Structure 1
Amino acid sequence: MRVPVLVAVTAILLSACGTTETPQAEQPNGAASGPVKVTDSRGKSVELKGAAQRVVALEWGEAEVVASLGVMPVGVADTAGYKTWDAVAPLDASVKDVGKRGEPSVDSIVALNPDVVIMAAERDSALVPQLEKYVPVVVTKSSDAARNFDRLREDVKMIAQAIGKTAEADKLLSEMDTKLADGKKALAAKAGTPFFMADGYLEGSTVSIRPFGKGSLVSDTAEALGLKNAWTGQVDPQWALGQTDVEGLTALTDPNTVLFYSASEEDVFTTGLAQNPVWQRLPFVSSKKVHKLEAGTWTFGGPKSVVHIADQFVKALA
């Protein structure tokens, strides 16, 4: 299963304060034609010759945002995985695969002659100086369990500044806010309903379950709809993800708890747990309050992923 690298990092307040030089003639996409400066999550001012049109994205959430804003990346890490796990902003067939998300190919990236490379902060820091020898690099925060919605807005606006799509970013974020507000109204009668969100994978013959704790993007989305995260176990400070097994789920005793889970590849909740007697006795299993998110629902994505997740929570509970 493809998952983000879980590295705890110090929270950095992002600044989306891109600026342009003196007024210039407009490009076809509406961006000024002069140099663009973007301050990224490192606090570094990254200068581009102009609004980037040839973009390489090394994380799926960032690739989703770029495509959502109307610029098709020229390169993305693990395009096959993206197509499996993130269906809300499809990639064109022309998008080149530049290697694994955790180990992209510098040669493949540089060969595409990009205007900018956009990558997540938790990826191999040694890669940044290698790439910066050839191309500007903008580093996003990608996740912050202390302030994930604020972090998401900052990442989106920063990316939009780099590619000259600030108006589109405002619209994208406004649509997300409207969807969450409408969803909360639709679930008003279910306010406070406890939910448990997880994904999982097989380790030998054992199913390992990864809870999405308070502060994860999915949890923030569900809480914005008026729901309450039932998982109180330990989670990491960046992604708010935990670790447990089926026995650990016996702590979820509230009969009103609803389970949502993600499995765009192997569904271990069906293949690995269906016959497990502990699993069968769990309140949300015995009461059939188990909902699988649609294939292609990326739980670490951009505003379109948030909307897609919110729609599924509302549909399941309304």
Structure 2
Amino acid sequence: MNRGPLTRGGAIAAGALSILMLAACGGSASDAEEGGSGEAAEGFPVTVETLFGDVEIEDRPTDVAALGWSDAETALALGVQPVGVADWQGYGGAGVGPWAADLLDEEPVQLGTMEPNLEAIASLEPDVILDTRSDHTQERNELLSPVAPVVGPPPGVEVTYGTTWQEQTRQVARVLGEDARGEELVEELEGRFAQAREDNPDFEGMTIAVGAYFDGQYGAYVPGDARVDLLEELGFENKPEITEMAEDAFYVDLSPELLEVLDADLTVVFPIGDEETTRFLHEDPVLQGIPSAEDGRLLIMDDPDLANAFSSGSTLGVTHALEGVVPLLQESLGS
């Protein structure tokens, strides 16, 4: 499992000019085949508002490159098979979580994450590139745009990787001509959250701190990250002190001296790595010494599938996470 992207900027491989040429060659062949093929599908063209300006989608996409975090799972939830995916959470194989893998007819091409494989993307001749949750840099958008129309996050998303599952679902649904189905997915999952809040009124207003341990380094997530957003939708409030430390990023590193900032009404920590990482968290005297841990209000998310679902930020993954995490929260809080 990936704790989340570990850089603030979008580093993309060099060679953009050659990729542009490849995309142009591929596009000309496709245009020749489709010339005079008839009118656009019903409801098209559509205009999609993005952080980088309006994007025109001329016809219903059939070949979709899903490059943003959970864009592939979102497309699958809307009934569309992506031809290429970015495996942000290191699943391997299909590049999506087990809650979504059964929806694939065949394994899509792997396209890279923070450094997209532009040649692989261009070779697929995609109708559209979905990049609704990434580092949200102009550089990344400009280097992908010569290959195909790029649909990034909607306007107003400020935190890197901070597109909510609602925004992502609606953005992708708009691209695919599935607005009605997108709203159904949003309403269904929001209904699950509402029911969970009703069933667990004690969650309301309790403070949370959501941390991670990766490669010998502790850190904490803030609102805009899928993990914190999920807990806030259950009624919890992220600890303000941590949010202030992040300065519009989704994550902040914590030195051992600062680890007590993770003390809250409920502390949730993600071990990112192997079983040794998980074992370390259960035994680390610094973590185990913060007040919430001493009081039994520390939840270490050591089920890899549940942790990945918790982190996915897609309707499919969040639904899976919600089913598993609520009982663990109840147990940790003694409710």
Partner of 2:211: 198
CA contact (8 A) 2:136 2:153 kept: no
Please, which of 206, 225, 240 is the counterpart of residue 234 of structure 2? 225
Runs (5+) with no aligned partner, structure 1: 10-24
User: How far does residue 174 in structure 1 lie from its aligned partner after superposition?
Assistant: 0.3
Aligned match for 1:63, one of 68, 72, 77: 72
Does the 8 Å contact 2:49/2:154 carry over to 1? no
* SS in structure 1 of the partner of residue 56 of structure 2: strand
Q: CA deviation at 1:93?
A: 6.5
Q: CA deviation at 1:314?
A: 1.8
Question: CA separation in 1, counterparts of 2:86 and 2:224?
Answer: 26
- Cα deviation for residue 184 of structure 1 reads 0.6
How many aligned positions are there?
291
- 1:42 aligns with 52
Is the 8 Å Cα contact of residues 198 and 262 (structure 1) preserved in structure 2?
A: yes
RMSD of aligned alpha carbons:
3.4
Q: For residues 254-310 of structure 1, what are the alpha-carbon distances to aligned partners after superposition, in whole Å with 9 as ceiling and x for unaligned?
A: 5xx323233464356523334332233223333443241642325252233333443
| SS of residue paired to 1:310 | helix
Q: Is the 8 A contact 1:225 1:310 kept in 2?
A: no
Q: Which runs of 5+ in 2 are unaligned?
A: 11-37, 331-335
Report whether the alignment pairs 1:317 with 2:318.
no
Instruction: String of CA shifts for 1:188-231, please: whole Å, max 9, x gaps.
Output: 134333322122212xxxx3112122443332322222223236
Q: Does 1:54 align with 2:55?
A: no
Could you say if the C-alpha distance between residues 86 and 238 of structure 1 is closer, same or farther in structure 2, counting changes exceeding 3 Å? farther
1-structure distance, mates of 2:277, 2:110: 32
Measure how far apart 1:127 and its partner are: 4.5
Q: Within 5 Å, give how 1:125-204 maps onto structure 2.
A: 125-140=138-153, 144-145=158-159, 152-202=165-215
What SS class does the counterpart of residue 309 from structure 2 fall into? coil
Structure 1 residues 197 and 267, CA gap change in structure 2 (3 angstroms)? farther
How far apart are the structure 1 equivalents of 2:175 and 2:129?
A: 10
Shift of 1:181: 0.5
| Aligned counterparts of 1:79 and 1:8: Cα–Cα separation in 2 | 16
Contact 1:88 1:308 in 2 (8 A): yes
State yes or no: 1:279 paired with 2:287: yes
Find the partner of 2:85 among 76, 92, 102. Answer: 76
- In structure 2, relative to structure 1, the CA distance for the partners of 1:310 and 1:232 (3 Å cut) is farther
Tell me: CA distance 1:33–1:177, structure 2 relative to 1, closer, same or farther (3 Å). Answer: closer
Following the alignment from structure 2 to structure 1, what is the Cα–Cα distance between the partners of residues 72 and 166? 15
Alignment match, 1:117: 129
**Which one has a larger percent helix, Structure 1 or Structure 2?**
2
When normalised by structure 2's length, the TM-score is 0.73
Residues 66-75 or 265-274, more deviating? 265-274
2:311 aligned counterpart, secondary structure: coil
Corresponding residue for 2:99?
Answer: 88
Q: Please state how far the C-alpha of 1:116 moved relative to its aligned partner.
A: 0.6
Q: What is the aligned-residue identity percentage?
A: 23
> Given that residues 209 and 263 in structure 2 are in contact (C-alpha distance below 8 angstroms), is that contact kept between their aligned partners in structure 1?
no
TM-score of the aligned structures, taking structure 1 as reference length: 0.76
Residues 1:173 and 1:277: Cα distance change in structure 2 (over 3 Å) = same
Q: Is the Cα contact below 8 Å between 1:199 and 1:262 reproduced in 2?
A: yes
Partner of residue 117, structure 2: 105
Distance change >3 Å, CA 135–CA 258, structure 1 → 2: same
Q: Which amino acid aligns with 2:219?
A: R
Match of 1:216, as an amino acid?
D
Q: Kindly report which structure 2 residues correspond to 1:200-279, keeping only aligned pairs within 5 A, or say none.
A: 200-202=213-215, 207-230=216-239, 232-233=241-242, 234-239=245-250, 241-253=251-263, 257-263=265-271, 265-266=273-274, 270-279=278-287
SS at match of 1:299: helix
In 1, the alpha carbon distance for the partners of 2:144 and 2:268 equals 39
